[in-house]
Amino acid sequence: MPDRLQSGVDRRRWNPLAPLPALVRARVHDWMRRRQGPDVLPVTLERRRLYILPTGAGAAFGLLLFLMLLAGLNYGNSLALFLTFLLAAFALVAMQQCHRNLLGIAVIAAHAPAVFARTTGAVHLTLANPASLARAQVEAAMPQRAAVAADLPAHERQRLELPLPAPTRGIVRIERLRLATTHPFGLFRAWTWVHTPIEMMIYPRPHGALPMPAHSGHKSGARPRGGSDADEWLGLRPFRDGDSPRQVDWKAYAREAPLLVKEYRPAGSELHLFDFAQLTDPDTEARLSQLARWVLEAEAHGERYGVALPGVLLPPDRGPEHRHRCLAALAVFGTDDGARHGGGAGASG
């Protein structure tokens, strides 16, 4: 008996029409993409690419007007008919205002900076209002994500940050963004899709407790003759008590800059090569997290470092671009994007 009851419950829960809404949305999105084509930013929202439909409140308002019309005709009440037509005219004006609130907005840029796994990234969307009329409550959203609303003053730009979770390493791709508005009265919703590909690189989570390995072709700390001319320039840092006055950047201080000290690193310092094969942890993600931590630590100390992965070798270097190349190679290692991004990062077998 319990088995029969359970099977009856399963049959009642099964709905053959459940996949229908998702199928309809996919077909509509494909039709919009074919109609609009791919977008190359900046894009101005023209009239032909805007769509508008009543909201739930707008549909209820229309039903109310229809009932008022029937009542006015049935009882021959001219005042009721006047009020019905007046409210209908109000609805038409609201529809025109809602459409105009989105018309002419320019999408200037959209990009997603790289983040680390187990954090929250963001798509940075820049909108511009070239008109002399302010735009209120303009919403931007990614598919299946909550919308972020902002007001656009006249002749100004506004940057919106759309949150995007980054649970695991790899590349997250966003194929389209939705812009919409229900201003001014919430009776209609005007919207459009901007079909511009966006990629967010997700680095491995930096984690691990192993000490940083060293690999060098010469002795650590060896300095060629010639004094400071053989040192490598690292940059400027704020002055601290005990620093030598000869290392202060007096030229910058004369230009009313803060008191800064020149930092150098001996040219004979060690090079670090972070090798995936030298780690013994059986978990691949743990190895990549350890390598990511070493990359950040070496970059923070101004050291030269490289990364060796199966089939990928990034020679030692330093700087923000090299840091990104190393972390990107770790991010796509073992994924379908590994060959394209790993090879493009200067990898060699």
Q: How far apart are CA 171 and CA 154, in angstroms?
A: 36
Q: Are residues 193 and 59 in the same domain?
A: yes
24, part of any domain = no
Region of 132 (left: φ > 0; alpha: ψ -120 to 50; beta: rest) is alpha
Same domain, 192 and 234: no
Does 181 fall in a domain? yes
What is residue 301's predicted lDDT score, i.e. its pLDDT? 83
| Domain co-membership, 189 together with 144 | yes
In a domain, 2, yes or no: no
pLDDT in tens, 95-142: 999 999 999 999 999 999 999 999 999 999 999 999 999 999 999 999
Do residues 247 and 292 both lie within one domain?
no
Residues 99 and 179 in one domain: yes
Average the pLDDT over each of 112-116, 204-208, 256-260 and give the range with the smallest value: 256-260
Non-local (6+) Cβ contacts of 187 within 8 A are 54, 55, 57, 58, 61, 91, 94, 95, 98
Residue 302 belongs to some domain of the structure: yes
Does the residue 305 lie in any domain? yes
- What are the residues facing 107 on neighbouring strands? 43, 127
Q: Which residue has the higher pLDDT, 224 or 263?
A: 263
Q: Which domain holds residue 252?
A: 225-269
Q: Does the pLDDT at position 61 exceed 90? A: yes
Count of the separate structural domains present in the chain? 3
Same domain, 260 and 156: no
